[in-house]
């Protein structure tokens, strides 16, 4: 209990300093961001850039903030076999016209960065403390965190099996370079590379399980349902478990929305904590999406509760808010019920 005290205290302080209305002005946030950009961050950020391709600079807006997880929604074009990036099926024609593809927005850029970071001699490698490249075999995307992998979530929107095959083959150049995280079931070993690909949405779990030698697309496990459907979620098939907050917090048939600006109630907290703990026991990291985004005070309270309960990645539509928030908040691992917040 004693070790929880500083966390509780910092939580109270955070809570206390939150604005009371939802119209928090953007200016201080922008200032904070400018300050952040002025100095390198001390750690890579466990933030997930949700719908990343909507940002001003897909991929790069997140990378500039040292955000280590991005997500793209992908449609396989039936005519051309190209992997188009868009949210809804009717965005796909536009994506085709604008040439917004998985290749052009993500894979080419990631490949180019990795090629650049790995073409240096060991003395002039990017990043200040890069003594261990020889052992690891690669420098990652993040200049100051050369051992950090980038998580690329690919949301399969339809046509699971063909999409899987198309993604498999578009990853081949990374595979050849040893740049993909993979699990070899035959030797029971996992290799971590600078790029870790996770399939979400309509990703075909059966095809992922069939990969026995080099499983390099992982399955985003259902955080709210880790006991059902497939009883063997583990860190060889999945690296993350994710769900909407609604699905996670209703395990006790509680209310399915965050009713109060004080955040999750006791019943909801209990469900979230159970799910996070179960995922951690299976060796999985967690991400909870569709958290309230208005008013701002509620958004921040829920984020701080989730971090306090030990969630690993903050799912963010507003990455700037998440980034400024994350720097000021201490992550915790609650081992029991959390008292209802002020």
Ligand X SMILES: *[C@@H]1O[C@H](CO)[C@@H](O)[C@H](O)[C@H]1NC(C)=O
Q: Which positions lie near ligand X, rule CB under 6 A?
A: 128-129, 147-148, 184, 186-188, 213-214, 227, 251, 274, 278
Q: How many helices (H) and strands (E) does the chain have?
A: 14, 12
Q: Whole-number minimum distance, CB 278 to ligand X, in Å? A: 6
Q: Whole-number minimum distance, CB 133 to ligand X, in Å? A: 11
Do 272 and 306 touch, CB atoms closer than 8 A?
yes
Q: Whole-number minimum distance, CB 127 to ligand X, in Å? A: 8
Closer by beta carbon to ligand X, 103 or else 235: 235
| Residue nearest ligand X, CB atom distance | 187
CA distance 267 to 262: 14
Q: Whole-number minimum distance, CB 162 to ligand X, in Å? A: 24
Q: Whole-number minimum distance, CB 179 to ligand X, in Å? A: 13
Closer by beta carbon to ligand X, 53 or else 182: 182
Angle at 235 between CA 134 and CA 264, to 5 degrees: 120
Question: In this structure, what token pair is assigned to residue 184?
Answer: 């070899």
Question: In this structure, what token pair is assigned to residue 254?
Answer: 């509680």
Closer by beta carbon to ligand X, 100 or else 215: 215
Closer by beta carbon to ligand X, 40 or else 81: 40
Closer by beta carbon to ligand X, 236 or else 262: 236
Q: Whole-number minimum distance, CB 123 to ligand X, in Å? A: 15
Q: In sequence order, what DSSP letters do the residues of 261-313 get, joined into one string?
A: TTBS-HHHHHHHHHHHHHHHHTT-EEEEES---SSHHHHHHHHHHHHHTT-SE
Instruction: Using alpha carbons, select from 160, 203, 162, 201 the residue that is nearest to residue 80.
Output: 162
Alpha carbons within 13 A on the beta-carbon side of 239: 23
Q: Measured between alpha carbons, how far is residue 277 from residues 226, 273, 274, 287 in Å?
A: 11, 6, 5, 13
Q: Whole-number minimum distance, CB 128 to ligand X, in Å? A: 5
Closer by beta carbon to ligand X, 43 or else 99: 43
Instruction: Using alpha carbons, select from 61, 45, 41 the residue that is nearest to residue 53.
Output: 61
What does R_g of the chain's alpha carbons equal in angstroms? 20
Closer by beta carbon to ligand X, 31 or else 43: 43
Closer by beta carbon to ligand X, 9 or else 337: 337
Q: Whole-number minimum distance, CB 206 to ligand X, in Å? A: 20
Q: Whole-number minimum distance, CB 204 to ligand X, in Å? A: 21
CA distance 260 to 268: 12
Burial class (CB in 10 A: 0-12, 13-18, 19+), 35: exposed
CA distance 129 to 249: 41
Closer by beta carbon to ligand X, 7 or else 251: 251
């Amino acid at each position: 209990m004693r070790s929880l005290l500083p966390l509780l205290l910092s939580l109270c302080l955070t809570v206390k300093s939150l604005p009371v209305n939802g119209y928090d002005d953007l200016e201080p946030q922008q200032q904070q961001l400018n300050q952040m950009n002025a100095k390198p961050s001390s750690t890579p950020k466990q933030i997930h850039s949700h719908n990343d391709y909507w940002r001003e600079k897909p991929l790069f807006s997140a990378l500039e903030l040292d955000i280590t997880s991005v997500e793209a929604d992908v449609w396989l074009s039936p005519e051309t076999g190209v992997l188009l990036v868009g949210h809804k099926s009717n965005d796909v024609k536009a994506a085709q016209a604008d040439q917004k593809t998985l290749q052009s927005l993500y894979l080419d850029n990631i490949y180019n960065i990795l090629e650049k970071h790995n073409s240096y001699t060991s003395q002039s490698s990017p990043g200040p403390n890069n003594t261990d490249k020889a052992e690891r075999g690669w420098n990652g995307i993040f200049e100051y965190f050369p051992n950090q992998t980038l998580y690329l979530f690919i949301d399969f929107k339809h046509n699971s099996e063909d999409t899987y095959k198309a993604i498999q083959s578009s990853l081949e150049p990374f595979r050849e370079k040893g740049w993909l995280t993979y699990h070899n079931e035959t030797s029971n070993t996992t290799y971590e590379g600078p790029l870790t690909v996770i399939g979400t949405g309509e990703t075909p779990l059966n095809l992922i399980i069939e990969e026995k030698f080099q499983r390099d697309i992982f399955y985003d496990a259902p955080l709210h349902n880790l006991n059902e459907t497939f009883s063997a979620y583990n860190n060889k098939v999945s690296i993350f478990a994710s769900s909407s907050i609604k699905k996670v917090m209703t395990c006790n048939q509680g209310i399915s929305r965050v009713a109060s600006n004080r955040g999750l109630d006791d019943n909801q907290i209990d469900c979230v904590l159970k799910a996070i703990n179960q995922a951690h026991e299976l060796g999985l990291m967690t991400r909870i999406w569709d958290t309230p985004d208005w008013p701002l005070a509620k958004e921040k309270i829920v984020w701080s509760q989730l971090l306090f309960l030990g969630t690993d990645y903050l799912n963010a539509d507003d990455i700037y808010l998440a980034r400024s928030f994350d720097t000021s908040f201490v992550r915790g691992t609650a081992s029991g019920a959390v008292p209802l917040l002020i």
